[in-house]
Amino acid sequence: MSPLRIAVSGLHRGENPQPGASIVRSLRRRFPSAFIAGLVYDALESGIYMADGPDAVYLMPYPTSGAPAFFERLDAIREKSPFDYLIPTLDAEIELLVHLEEDLTARGLITCLPGKETLDRRSKSHLAELARQCGVAVPETQAAYDVAGALAAAKEFGYPLMVKGQYYDAKMAASEPDLAAAASHLLSEWGAPVLVQRCVRGLEFNALGLGDGEGGIVGLCTIRKTIVSNQGKGLGGMTIRDPRLDDFCRRLVCELRWHGPFEIEAMLDEERGAYVLIEINPRFPAWVDFPAMLGVNFPAALIAMMESADRPTPLPRCAPGHFYLRHQVEVTGHVEQLAALSSSAAFDTLKTAPTSSPGSQNPATASAFDTLKTAPTSSPGS
């Protein structure tokens, strides 16, 4: 059997990491001989230069360039580095690709994406209606089409509050000047409306999973965020098992008949004592390699779903009590690699770049953390 050939996007691993680099790591764990192409938007996406990163890397036009530019570039890439499976990891890519299913199929490309209507139903502007249909709670929210509208909403909600762009980004505002500045920035960045939202006080939770497209869940991993950055990003998390959160996630996935990867963000409202839906993302989160390190490999299960029309095999649950910490390390590259990406928009292998003086050892190739192998990973019998 010939090795799998897979393309993965979103390799940035900086302060606000994208999922692609973690997906590549998970795929390497299950398919060490797979050919993996990285699709990037910046030659300095750090996941390009990981020791266990992609075999070839190509710059892509931004999704806002539209379908013709996207396919022109994708076709050129596949002539040089053919691949059969495409795993997009950025919301803007998915917003484009859900409208291009026929074009992807005609090219023999296999993806696993939600439908157009499903994607729209989980958008921030429609989240309250979805929550009502599922019987789950959401924070009180008002759409604002200008700064004055945002300030009017704040008079009802009070401070602090959250203000969110219609596609990306969220900022906390503790005062009227904070809100005016945040709303102005988000309106200029993402357009109208922005969403002004009453703050929920409580612990933050995340769930990553795979939906089978028929209302069922192939796999689910739930965590409590233990460390949160100033931008609200999870820098650490611990696996949990709470039947209430499991039911919360199942209601949403069942109602949407979600197909493919998802991330559900929720908070446990300390006043109500109930989970509140914050957001549903149409892709894996950046911490997706964490459960793979515990033996529950979601990207590998995604490939299995794409390979077969049979009902997917359910994944076991991660045992509660495992935690991850986001750990910053440096990766190295060479100016020749940077020049190749910047000038020709491609380089073929990370392994051909000069690395170090003869006889020296690259610590990035060292294996590590033997003690994980002895810790419990998934629940017995699950």
Burial (0-12, 13-18, 19+ Cβ within 10 Å), 330: exposed
For 158-185, how does the pLDDT look when each residue is reduced to its tens digit (9 = 90+)? 999 999 887 778 888 999 999 999 999 9
Q: Among the three residues 198, 227, 242, which one is the final residue of a domain in this structure?
A: 198
Q: Do residues 52 and 25 make contact, with C-beta atoms less than 8 angstroms apart?
A: yes
Residue 382 lies in a domain: no
- Could you tell me if 332 and 320 lie in one domain? no
Exposure string over 294-324, b if 16+ CB within 10 A, otherwise e: bbbbbbbbbbbbbeeeeebeebbbbbeebeb
Rg of the chain's alpha carbons, rounded to an integer? 21
Whether residues 97 and 158 fall in one domain? no
- Domain end point (choices 308, 325, 342): 325
Q: Answer yes or no: do 227 and 153 share one domain.
A: no
Q: 280 in helix, strand or coil?
A: strand
Q: Is there a domain that residue 144 lies in?
A: yes
Residues 279 and 256 in one domain: yes
| Burial class of residue 126, CB neighbours in 10 A (0-12, 13-18, 19+) | exposed
205 and 314 together in one domain: yes
Q: Which of 16-25, 261-270, 307-316, 356-365 shows the lowest per-residue confidence on average (mean pLDDT)?
A: 356-365
CATH assignment at residue 274: 3.30.470.20
Check whether residue 246 and residue 283 sit in a common domain.
Answer: yes
Residue 366 lies in a domain: no
| pLDDT value of residue 348 | 62
Tell whether 374 is covered by a domain: no
Question: Which residue among 198, 214, 237 closes a domain?
Answer: 198
Are residues 306 and 207 part of one domain?
yes
In a domain, 90, yes or no: yes
pLDDT at 191: 87
Number of structural domains (the chain) is 3
- Do 206 and 300 sit in the same domain of this protein? yes
Angle between helices 243-256 and 127-134 (to 10 degrees): 110
Q: Where residue 47 sits, what CATH number does that domain have?
A: 3.40.50.20
Domain containing 166 equals 140-198
Residue 374 banded pLDDT, cuts 50, 70, 90:
very low
**What tokens appear for 203 in the block?**
């612990």
- Shared domain check, 318 and 206: yes
Alpha-carbon torsion angle 331, 332, 333, 338, nearest 10: 60
Mean per-residue pLDDT, 49-60: 93
- Are 290 and 229 contained in the same domain? yes
133 lies in some domain = no
User: Residue 335 has which token pair?
Assistant: 């100016």
Q: Tokens standing for 225?
A: 């965020």
Q: Is the pLDDT of residue 361 over 80?
A: no
Q: What integer pLDDT is reported at residue 15 of this predicted model?
A: 81
* pLDDT higher at 337 or 70: 70
- Write down the pTM of the prediction: 0.87
Q: Tell me the CATH number at 144.
A: 3.30.1490.20
- Residues 190 and 273 both lie in one domain: no
Q: Please report the DSSP string for 1-13 in residue order.
A: -PPPEEEEE----
Mean pLDDT of 189-213: 93
* Range 33-58 average pLDDT: 94
Average pLDDT of the chain is 89
- 236 phi and psi angles, rounded to 5 deg: -165, 150
Residue 321 in any domain: the answer is yes
